[in-house]
Structure 1
Amino acid sequence: MTFVGKKFPNLSVNAMNDLGDTFKINILEEAQKNNKKVVLFWYPKDFTFVCPTELRAFQAALGEFEKRNTIVIGASCDTAEVHFAWLNTSKENGGIEGVTYPILADSNRNLASTLGILDIVSEQYDEETGAVILEGDNVTYRATYLIDEQGMVFHEGINHMPLGRNINEYLRLIDAYAHVQENGEVCPANWEEGKEAMTANRKGVAEYLTSLAN
């Protein structure tokens, strides 16, 4: 089930930050009460391989997201304690020391299950009871959600485990959605900030396509 065009689930989840504070975060409320966009990115597991490159890439771009009135929040199904241990591990040892945005600790998998992003790879059946037993790593895919100031999801994307994300694409999507919000135009393929957008009618698309040929 996709959440694009819908409100993000109204669920509170434990979170951890680099100061060692454990607290609750409700993504929907974060967007609405702060009147900010939110980028929520899920990764499979702490102390792994592609994951720290992504967390560090989001940290490096944190200023760009802040310029766009956007909060960055990471998430996995590890516990808050494991997050804190990873936050205190240097990059020389594969850690994410220096990451300052909060990380959800969805250890009971309530939010991940609601979003449908858990890696459940097969079903087995109990011969005595007939119950379905789900088997898999029980971690999340690399799912990313962009949420607007009203808590509505305007982008949802899921990568398989080996595929790291391109952070610049999320900045581009935030720019594009902000342009739609502010100007009422739609953004064509490969649109970037400063490029021509178009009106959503036949005349608009005809004018835009004609301009590409000139």
Structure 2
Amino acid sequence: MATAVGKQFPDLNVDAMNEMGDTFKINVLEEAKNNNKKVLLFWYPKDFTFVCPTELHAFQAALGEFEKRNTIVIGASCDTPEVHFAWLNQSKDNGGIEGVTYPLLADSNRNLSSILGILDISEEVYDEATQTVQVVGDNVTYRATYLIDEEGTVFHEGINHMPVGRNVNEFLRLIDAYSHVQKNGEVCPANWEEGKDAMKPNAKGTAEYLASH
């Protein structure tokens, strides 16, 4: 499976749903380029599940921090818009995601997730009765996350297995680091955070950084 890092995000329109019950199309690439913003797109396996609502609420809680960084947040799964809306109308204390205000992609035809290669398709089995190849697996996505810059280029891609939730603060740190690179032409060393020293991208810069840290 080839990485998406360093490449343009796929140019594809996908169904989406918001908390108002509106169904519309989102093209993630155009969201970045047309709005001159970064985009954080995070995929989760399925609505009405367990780890997933904790992540959606965590991204919602940090939405203001992403907005400060000129970054759009978009969630995504392979559920339909109608299922998204039902979950958006279920209260938090009942396991729902009421209060989430960013849009949710509904990749129910699995076009975008297939292009990205993030579907949990365990194996293909030949069915002699029908003489066709049957896909065996959950056919939902892993916890994949994409950070996309203002030109539509992916600068981070990460994939977690289903049981492992994400750390939202790490994505804020990655956006800060990439923005520092864009603005200053420096590179960000291990464990870099906003306000810490970065490095000149050459041998002298590396030596000076290591000597002082």
The question of a shared fold, defined as TM-score above 0.5 by the shorter chain, is answered with yes
The aligned counterpart of 1:196 is: 197
2-structure distance, mates of 1:128, 1:41: 39
The aligned counterpart of 1:132 is: 133
2-structure distance, mates of 1:79, 1:125: 28
Q: CA deviation at 1:128?
A: 6.1
**The residue matched to 2:4 in structure 1 has which SS?**
coil
**The residue matched to 1:72 in structure 2 has which SS?**
strand
Q: CA deviation at 1:200?
A: 1.1
The aligned counterpart of 1:143 is: 144
The aligned counterpart of 1:58 is: 59
**The residue matched to 2:137 in structure 1 has which SS?**
strand
Paired letter, 2:196: K
The aligned counterpart of 2:155 is: 154
The aligned counterpart of 1:49 is: 50
The aligned counterpart of 2:86 is: 85
Which piece of structure 1 moves more, 48-57 or 117-126?
117-126
Count of matched residue pairs: 212
2-structure distance, mates of 1:48, 1:206: 49
The unaligned stretches of length 5 or more in structure 2 are none
2-structure distance, mates of 1:92, 1:60: 16
2-structure distance, mates of 1:81, 1:134: 25
Matches within 5 A, 1:161-176: 161-176=162-177
Query: Aligned in 2, Cα 1:88/1:183: closer, same or farther, shift over 3 Å?
Result: same
2-structure distance, mates of 1:3, 1:130: 34
Normalization by structure 1: what TM-score? 0.97
Residues 59-90 of structure 1, C-alpha deviations (whole Å, 9 max, x = no match): 00000000000000000000000000000000
The aligned counterpart of 1:102 is: 103
Q: CA deviation at 1:165?
A: 0.1
1-structure distance, mates of 2:132, 2:81: 32
The aligned counterpart of 2:3 is: 2
2-structure distance, mates of 1:184, 1:42: 31
**The residue matched to 1:114 in structure 2 has which SS?**
helix
Q: CA deviation at 1:130?
A: 6.0
Paired letter, 1:74: G
2-structure distance, mates of 1:127, 1:139: 26
Residues 74-113 of structure 1, C-alpha deviations (whole Å, 9 max, x = no match): 0000000000000000011100000000000000000000
Normalization by structure 2: what TM-score? 0.98
Paired letter, 2:152: G
2-structure distance, mates of 1:139, 1:211: 47
**The residue matched to 1:138 in structure 2 has which SS?**
coil
Note if 1:69 corresponds to 2:55. no
1-structure distance, mates of 2:131, 2:156: 38
RMSD of equivalent CA atoms: 1.0
1-structure distance, mates of 2:29, 2:54: 27
2-structure distance, mates of 1:128, 1:87: 42
Q: Which runs of 4+ in 1 moved over 2 A?
A: 126-133
1-structure distance, mates of 2:83, 2:4: 29
1-structure distance, mates of 2:45, 2:137: 12
**The residue matched to 1:57 in structure 2 has which SS?**
helix
Paired letter, 1:137: D
1-structure distance, mates of 2:77, 2:103: 11
